[in-house]
Structure formats: C-alpha cells, structure tokens
C-alpha cells in the first residue's frame, strides 16, 4: 500500500515548516477567509454513520504511527499527543476538521489527506482502531507545584464537560483529557483560549477567558495527573504487536 512509503525524511520535512505556519495569528487567519466554529462542514457525520473495519484501521494507522507512535502514546514532551483511548467521535471530528482545514495542523495535514489514507471510510476505520488502543501509564506531567489550586479550578470549571476524572464524553464530542501529555494540554488550551484553534467549543472558550497563566498551568498540571481506569491503561513499556 502507498502509505507504507512514509519515511522519516518526509516527517522531518513536514515538521520543518510547522513552526512558521503555526505562528499565524487568529486575526490573520480570519482575514484569509478561514472559518471558525465548533461544528463546521466536514466528513464528520458521514464518517460516524459508517461501520468501521478495525483491520483496515490498523493498516491506515501505520502512517499515523510515524508521529503518534505504534502504541498511540505520542511523545511525553507533548510534540505529538497521545491518541490511544480517545473517544471515537473525538478522533473522527478532529481528523475530519484537520482534513477540511477547520483546525490548523500543518505538520500532520499532508498525511491526513484522502490521497494518503483514503476517503471517509478510512476516518471511521482508523478512529475505531485508535479508540481501542490502551493508554500510557506514564504520560508527561506538569511540575506538581500548585495542584490544590488546579483541583479547585478543575472542579469549578471543567467537570461539567470533561467529567470528574477527565474522561470526556463520547456522545458529546468532549475529549478525554486525563493522562494527556502536559505540554500538549498547555499548547492546545492556550490556542483554544486565543481563538487559534478555530474548531473549539465556544462555551469552553468563554469559560476560560478569565484564567491567568498561573491558573492555566495549575489546572492542566492537575489534568495531566488524572488517571484513566485500569482497563484502559497498558502495562509499562507495552509495545504494539501490530507494528513489530
Ligand atoms: C507528521 C506527524 C503526524 C502524522 C503522520 C500524523 N499526525 Fe496526528 N497530529 C500530529 C501533531 C503534531 C498533532 C498535534 C497538533 C497540534 O498541536 O495542534 C496531531 C494531532 C492529531 C489529532 C488531534 C488530537 C487531539 O487530542 O485533539 C488526531 C485525532 C490525530 N492527530 C490523528 C492522526 C491520525 C489518525 C493520523 C494518521 C492518519 C495522524 N494523526 C498522523 C502529527 C502527526
Ligand atoms: C462547555 C464544555 C467545556 C468546558 C466547560 C471545558 N471544555 Fe475543554 N473542551 C471541550 C470540547 C468540546 C473540546 C474539543 C474542542 C473541539 O472539538 O475542537 C475541548 C478541548 C479541550 C482541550 C484540548 C484537548 C485535545 O485533546 O486537544 C483541553 C486541554 C481542554 N479542553 C481543557 C479544558 C479545561 C482544563 C477546562 C476547564 C478549565 C475545560 N476544558 C472546560 C469542552 C469543554
């Protein structure tokens, strides 16, 4: 299959231009005619109505594994998010949004295109495969210096959508954020707050506007330490036998 030709060189080439493109400010993006909104036009609903094929999803995931790693854990430093265990609806929505240009991700964009991985069915298939991977027991966490403050902010502001333990909600497209790498959480949160992640939920954007930098780091440090249930967690050092 074509996707097997993804090389380290092509990944590095894609990463090389990422910082420049990611630096674009939201006002400039709006001036470009790029749209904002949580539930924009995309392949999302079509993909969610298809019956997924996990074996095909495994084949598609090979291209993803170059960055998100064969076990789906991403990197502890947050360059690449953990995808393992994420809700199927969230993976479908984010992937469809990235493909449709509703969420900027210049690093990944070329590898998400239909010419690389196939059409809407491939989105359904790979999301099913990823959602079934178990999560890392050792994600990247914050400094741990302000956790009480973080816990209080979380209870008051985040539980109603992301759940008491950061488990999210598959039916509502609310992501699982427990055990996600701290640096990735911080990056996404700041982009959501600033309007740079154009597909963000408007109620969340509103909710977090008064957060100071201190609040932000405290709440996300707390989130990074929330643990998924044991049955969703892989043993330490687990290697995905599908990619050996
Ligand atoms: C060249 C590296 C690269 C490849 C290949 C890649 N991704 Fe990504 N992906 C990223 C990066 C970097 C991010 C985080 C972008 C950001 O910080 O906004 C990301 C983010 C995501 C997200 C959003 C996660 C979230 O929590 O919102 C999903 C879903 C995703 N990727 C799925 C995939 C799938 C499925 C594939 C294979 C078809 C894939 N990616 C291939 C680099 C890659
Ligand atoms: C009104 C519901 C709502 C509230 C309240 C809310 N969020 Fe979110 N959050 C969402 C949704 C929905 C998304 C995914 C947005 C999208 O589809 O692009 C999200 C995305 C995120 C992400 C990015 C996750 C990823 O995988 O990329 C982080 C981090 C996050 N929220 C943290 C928080 C924290 C911390 C709080 C509390 C301070 C909070 N959210 C409050 C609904 C909410």
Show the domain range for 109: 2-137
185 lines ligand 2 (CB under 6 A): yes
Ligand 1 lined by 117 (C-beta under 6 Å): yes
Is residue 203 within 6 Å of ligand 2 at its C-beta?
A: yes
Is residue 242 situated within a structural domain? Answer: no
Q: For residue range 201-232, what is the model confidence (pLDDT) as tens digits?
A: 999 999 999 999 999 999 999 999 999 999 99
| 112 CB near ligand 1 (under 6 Å) | yes
The ligand placed nearest to the CA atom of residue 78 is: 1
Q: Is 133 in the pocket of ligand 1 (CB under 6 A)?
A: no
- Same domain assignment for residues 99 and 132: yes
Helix count and strand count (H, E) for the chain: 13, 0
| 237 is a domain residue | no
Q: Give residue 95 CA to ligand 1 midpoint distance, Å.
A: 8
- Tell me the CA–centroid distance for residue 206 and ligand 1, in Å: 25
Return all residues near 244 (Cβ < 8 A) that are at least 6 apart: none
Q: Which of 35, 161, 211 to mutate to test the pocket of ligand 2 (most atoms within 8 A of CB)?
A: 161
Helix intervals (H) in 146-201:
147-157, 159-162, 182-194
Q: Which of 137, 156, 183 is the last residue of a domain?
A: 137
122 CB within 6 A, ligand 1: no
Same structural domain for residues 104 and 129?
yes
Residues 41 and 157 in one domain: no
pLDDT tens-digit profile of 154-174? 999 999 999 999 999 999 999
Residues 165 and 132 grouped into a single domain: no
Q: How many domains does the chain have?
A: 2
Q: State whether 46 and 127 are in the same domain.
A: yes
Tell me the best of 64, 96, 223, 243 to mutate to test the pocket of ligand 1, counting ligand atoms within 8 Å of each CB and taking the most: 64
pLDDT at 36: 81
On whether both 23 and 127 belong to a single domain, the answer is yes
Whether 176 and 206 map to the same domain: the answer is yes
Predicted local confidence at residue 1, as pLDDT:
36
Whether residue 71 sits in one domain with residue 15:
yes
Backbone torsions φ then ψ of 38, nearest 5 degrees: -75, -45
Q: If DSSP codes are grouped into helix, strand and coil, which group holds residue 90?
A: helix
Between the CA of 185 and the centroid of ligand 2 the distance, in Å, is: 10
Question: Do 133 and 162 fall into the same domain?
Answer: no
Tell me the CA–centroid distance for residue 173 and ligand 2, in Å: 10
CATH number, domain of 221, equals 1.10.760.10
- Please give the chain's pLDDT, 244 residues, in tens: 334 444 444 444 444 433 333 333 444 444 456 778 899 999 999 999 999 999 999 999 999 999 999 999 999 999 999 999 999 999 999 999 999 999 999 999 999 999 999 999 999 999 999 999 999 999 999 999 999 999 999 999 999 999 999 999 999 999 999 999 999 999 999 999 999 999 999 999 999 999 999 999 999 999 999 999 999 999 999 999 999 8
Q: Name the H helices within the chain.
A: 8-22, 26-31, 44-49, 54-68, 88-100, 109-112, 114-117, 120-131, 147-157, 159-162, 182-194, 202-207, 213-224
């Amino acid at each position: 299959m074509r996707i097997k030709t993804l090389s380290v060189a092509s990944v590095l080439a894609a990463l090389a231009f990422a910082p420049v493109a990611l630096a674009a400010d939201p006002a400039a993006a709006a001036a470009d005619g790029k749209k904002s909104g949580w539930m924009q036009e995309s392949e999302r609903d079509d993909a969610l109505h298809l019956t997924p094929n996990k074996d095909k999803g495994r084949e598609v995931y090979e291209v993803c594994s170059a960055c998100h790693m064969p076990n789906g854990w991403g990197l502890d430093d947050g360059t690449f998010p953990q995808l393992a265990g994420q809700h199927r609806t969230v993976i479908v929505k984010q992937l469809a949004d990235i493909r449709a240009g509703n969420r900027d991700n210049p690093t990944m964009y070329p590898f998400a295109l239909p010419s690389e991985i196939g059409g809407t069915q491939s989105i359904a298939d790979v999301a099913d495969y990823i959602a079934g991977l178990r999560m890392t027991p050792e994600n990247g966490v914050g400094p741990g210096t302000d956790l009480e403050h973080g816990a209080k902010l979380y209870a008051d502001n985040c539980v109603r959508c992301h759940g008491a333990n950061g488990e999210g909600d598959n039916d509502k497209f609310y992501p699982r954020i427990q055990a996600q790498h701290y640096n990735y959480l911080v990056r996404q949160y700041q982009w959501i707050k600033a309007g740079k992640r154009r597909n963000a939920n408007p109620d969340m954007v509103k909710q977090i506007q008064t957060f100071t930098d201190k609040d932000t780091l405290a709440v996300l440090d707390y989130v990074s330490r929330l643990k998924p249930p044991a049955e969703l967690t892989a043993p330490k050092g687990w290697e995905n036998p599908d990619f050996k």
